Amino acid sequence: MHRPSEHTNTRVVAWAIFFYSLILFPFMNPENLTKKRHTLAHLLAYAVLQDFPHAKPTIGPAIETGFYYDIDFTGGPIPSDEELKNIQKTMRKTLSSWKAFSHREVSPTEAKEFFKENPFKLELINELEKENTVITLYTAGEGKSEFTDLCRGGHSENPSEEISADSFKLTSLAGAYWRGDEKNPMLTRIYGLAFDSAEELGAYETQLEEAKKRDHRKLGKELDLFTFSELVGSGLPLWTPKGTIIRSELDAFIWQLRSKHGYERVTIPHITKKDLYQTSGHWEKFADELFRITTREGKEYALKPMNCPHHTQIFDRTPHSYRNMPQRYAETTMVYRDEQSGELGGLTRVLSITQDDSHVFCRHNQVKDEFFRVWDIIDTFYGTFGFKLRVRLSFHDPKEMEKYLGTKEIWENAENSLREIAKERNADYFEAQGEAAMYGPKLDFMAKDSIGREHQVATIQLDMNLPERFDLSCINEKGEKERIVMMHCAIMGSIERFTAVLIEHVGGNFPLWLSPVQVAVIPVADVHHDYAKQVFDGLRAVGIRASYDDSNESMGKKIRSAKKERLPYFIVIGDKEVEAKNVTLEARNGETSVMTLSALGNHLLTLISAKL
């Protein structure tokens, strides 16, 4: 499941921090499932020690889908996959005798004595001692099943009753550096899945399997949508002709939706002088992620990591009367971020990101209407693909007003508008205090895909910061200069990430309007070529993306290859069709319909324009 990679290290660090926060703030995550998972991590350490007495447990937190424990096996063998099954058996057997946890506070000296054989626990104890944190040991089980660990609590009250033995399983082993630092020893991480019931565990495993089959890296290659080149570099996807059709169609759809709402296209260069980002604050904020360029004259430039600063300069080219507000600029363009290299061959972490970006420059009293417009676009766009949306209203934390730009009144007005919109739209939404950006509240959209996974997709952000920094204003009804606000919104977010989500959502079966090849025309034998070619030319003439398979392969093989490419439709031309001068349109799902050649084009065009 998890392979050690550069990426894993960051994850290890993140989890180490998370675990540490659990030690320090035991009640941070009071959810029962988290308690079960944390309890199972203890049980795992106990079970490992039964068969591997030389093992030294280090840290073992609950994670999103279960738990893990990082264990040092120096001085003896590491468990094999077979032995992992035995460890799981021991866990299940022991569970029934774990009826409660007891705990006691101990002095640092006592704790060190208890863990004197385990340098990792000693390191943790030393740190707790330095921070003057109370040290506690938690014990579960009795007699042979007794196990004590350094911990700050957060367990199931009665594991034997609360945890069902078939609701968890051990899944894999992986290497992980002690506390995520590659200078530290490499430990063995044992992962487990744990849910509330065996059914939920089963459902999650089915979802994992389904996700594997749909993996966009695998399907992207099979369907010939994108590729990578070692010469170009990892994280820099190259889009093939077929992949480019999908990108263009998605973008055209977004434009179709935007144009109804008064958006105008703009175009900016991909580089800028340092000055722009010094004014915007990004030179400092994006310091590590910025690709910098020094010219032969020694001037400093950067590749754009976002488009907003450039777009402010288009707005600011001329004074704006309130009558010309809002100004809505949109541009689909690449931005570049020097991120840590991620999973090879994937679209989810890339250095070149195509944003379908837009910026609305408007007055405070226009915010509600503008959010409404974008929300409309988002609803239509995601609804077309059958994604279910959930919305988080990311608001400021009134207790920490000093963290935010703008007055309390401006924030409350803006947030009330967002709340009203959410209510008016009957949206599935929830509010989250403290999740706003420093420069304004946000709407964050989460899309549920066909196998039940939730992906964060579009966000609409209100920004009171950049207008301040770039001194953006309009002239109001009284002839005075009035500070405006900006809205940032990309519908797809990034085309790369959205395409990855979409490929997996539809399992490679793109809807007709989006398919790189929409119909394959397949003549049975040479004598059918003339008519088949006529069908093919007819489709191409009306703008349908058709392919023509006149290879010498067998009929069966041609049809199989059309199916493997997941083409929405194919048309086989044989004696019957030539004679009747009609066609049989066969859909991916096996449905067929017979129609005349002239009806065919119209039929398909209707389906395409309705995006069915």
Does residue 552 contact residue 579 with C-beta atoms inside 8 Å? no
How far apart CA 451 and CA 448 sit, in angstroms, is 8
Identify the active-site residue in 36, 151, 216, 308: 308
Does residue 500 contact residue 214 with C-beta atoms inside 8 Å? no
Identify the active-site residue in 38, 179, 320, 359: 359
Q: Which is nearer to Zn ion, 139 or 341 (CB)?
A: 139
Residue 63 touching Zn ion (CB under 5 A): no
Q: Which is nearer to Zn ion, 359 or 505 (CB)?
A: 359
DSSP-assigned letters across all residues of 368-430: HHHHHHHHHHHHHHHHHTTPEEEEEEEE--GGGGGGSSS-HHHHHHHHHHHHHHHHHTT--EE
Single-letter residue type at 200: E
Q: Which is nearer to Zn ion, 169 or 442 (CB)?
A: 442
Identify the active-site residue in 282, 320, 337, 455: 337
Instruction: Reply yes or no on whether 42 is catalytic.
Output: no
Instruction: Reply yes or no on whether 359 is catalytic.
Output: yes
Tell me the closest approach of the beta carbon of residue 536 to Zn ion, in angstroms: 45
**What Cα–Cα distance (Å) separates residue 405 from each residue in 68, 210, 444, 467?**
41, 45, 20, 11
Does residue 67 contact residue 37 with C-beta atoms inside 8 Å? yes
Q: Which is nearer to Zn ion, 359 or 455 (CB)?
A: 359
Helix then strand then coil, in percent of the chain rounded to 5, is 40, 25, 30
Query: Which tokens go with 509?
Result: 């079966």
How far apart CA 379 and CA 235 sit, in angstroms, is 30
**Residues in the chain, overall count:** 612
Identify the active-site residue in 70, 149, 356, 357: 357
Instruction: Reply yes or no on whether 474 is catalytic.
Output: no
Instruction: Reply yes or no on whether 488 is catalytic.
Output: yes
Q: Which is nearer to Zn ion, 111 or 573 (CB)?
A: 111
**Binders in 389-448 for Zn ion, by CB under 5 A:** none
Residue 308 touching Zn ion (CB under 5 A): yes
Does residue 301 contact residue 293 with C-beta atoms inside 8 Å? yes
Residue 488 touching Zn ion (CB under 5 A): yes
Tell me the closest approach of the beta carbon of residue 309 to Zn ion, in angstroms: 8
Identify the active-site residue in 349, 455, 488, 497: 488
The region, left, alpha or beta by phi > 0 then psi within -120 to 50, assigned to residue 575 is alpha
Identify the active-site residue in 258, 442, 455, 558: 442
DSSP state for residue 288 in the 8-state scheme: G
Contact letters for Zn ion, residues 147-186 (x by CB under 5 A): ----x-----------------------------------
Tell me the closest approach of the beta carbon of residue 154 to Zn ion, in angstroms: 6
Residue 491 touching Zn ion (CB under 5 A): no
Which residues does 518 contact at the CB level (< 8 Å), separation at least 6?
Answer: 512, 544, 545, 546, 567, 568, 569, 604, 608
Tell me the closest approach of the beta carbon of residue 23 to Zn ion, in angstroms: 9
Stretch that binds Zn ion, among 180-188, 285-293, 484-492, 550-558 (CB under 5 A): 484-492
Tell me the closest approach of the beta carbon of residue 380 to Zn ion, in angstroms: 22
548 three-class SS: strand
Instruction: Reply yes or no on whether 469 is catalytic.
Output: no
Tell me the closest approach of the beta carbon of residue 149 to Zn ion, in angstroms: 6
Q: Which is nearer to Zn ion, 440 or 568 (CB)?
A: 440
Q: Which is nearer to Zn ion, 42 or 396 (CB)?
A: 42
Stretch that binds Zn ion, among 196-204, 397-405, 472-480, 481-489 (CB under 5 A): 481-489
Respond yes or no on whether the N-terminal peptide bond of residue 237 is cis (omega within 30° of 0): no
Stretch that binds Zn ion, among 188-196, 422-430, 486-494, 528-536 (CB under 5 A): 486-494
Q: Which is nearer to Zn ion, 320 or 488 (CB)?
A: 488
Stretch that binds Zn ion, among 259-267, 282-290, 398-406, 488-496 (CB under 5 A): 488-496
> How many Å is the Cα radius of gyration of the chain?
30
Write out the residues near Zn ion by the rule CB under 5 A: 151, 308, 488
Active site residues: 308, 337, 355, 357, 359, 442, 488
